[in-house]
Amino acid sequence: MKLFKPTLVALALVSVIGCQETKQEEKAPVLDTEVQKQAYGLGASIGMFTQRNLAEQEKLGLTLDQALILRGFKDSLADKSVIEKEEIQALMMNLEQTMKAKQQEAAANAAEANIAEGLAFLEANAKQEGVQVTESGIQYSVIAEGEGEKPAATDKVKVHYKGMFLNGEEFDSSYKRNQPAVFGLNQVIKGWTEGVQLMSVGSKFKFTIPSDLAYGPNGNPPRIPGNSVLQFEIELLEIKKAEAPAQVGDAK
């Protein structure tokens, strides 16, 4: 049984506790017992989670009066809330809907901006020395050339990789997990399906994949915005050939 399940809206009510108090020297909390540490830990976890969400609200242009947040929290603990429970629930639902609307608007604006940024990057990158461009628009350069065979779209492959946004920020890496990825080439984004087939086992390529061959206008929330041109460094470690289908009449 879960004893405590915070939500974004509920946590907004307990933010910045202590921040609105008159600043004065405070004694360190007494944390001699497990129960004391649990109590402090619960408060700390609420504070850290809420701080992150308030920062996100600020980014979206939604600023809540912290003095009123603190007052509502204290009044609720003392069972002296000046707003009825049913109204509070309605208010919190409205707040959550407002946040979702602002997030959707921000995502749409980011996706629109990514179109121009991606096109400009692809145009410039195509002119870089060593960059080759496929008919579909995938751009790639060879970091290391292997001598093994190349996979087919129906094969499974074992790879190490890292994925990056155009600013160089890394959003995924099998290297950091210290665990190569294994997947069917027909089960990933189109840019991977096409691109990895260009590689021989032992090769390492860098790909720049247009958004329509990656995650398209919808992106891959929450990490990858819509219309994102993505870059991947991929190292092909092994091919796991697809098994041929059994033929009628084959001996068992």
120's CB contacts (< 8 A; 6+ apart) are: none
Residue 120 vs residue 242, higher pLDDT:
120
Residue-wise pLDDT tens digits, 119-166: 999 999 999 999 999 999 999 999 999 999 999 999 999 999 999 999
Count, residues in the chain: 252
In a domain, residue 110? The reply is: no
pLDDT in tens, 228-237: 999 999 999 9
- The answer as to whether 99 is a domain residue is no
| Domain membership of residue 37 as a residue range | 8-22+30-82
Q: Cα 56–57–58 angle (5° rounding)?
A: 90
Is 145 found in the same domain as 56? no
Has residue 65 been placed in a domain? Answer: yes
At 237 the pLDDT is 97
Last residue of one domain, picked from the residues 82, 101, 121: 82
Tell me if the pTM is above 0.95.
Answer: no
164 and 72 in a single domain? The answer is: no
Residues 132 and 145: beta-carbon distance below 8 Å: no
Same domain assignment for residues 142 and 219: yes
Q: Say if residue 67 is in the same domain as residue 163.
A: no
Count of domains forming the chain: 2
Which residues have a catalytic role annotated?
161, 171-172, 189, 215, 232
CATH number at residue 151: 3.10.50.40
Q: Residue 204: beta bridge partners?
A: 144, 235
User: What is the C-alpha to C-alpha distance for residues 215 and 231, in angstroms, rounded to an integer?
Assistant: 12
Looking at the fold, whether 138 and 205 belong to one and the same domain comes out as: yes
In a domain, 64, yes or no: yes
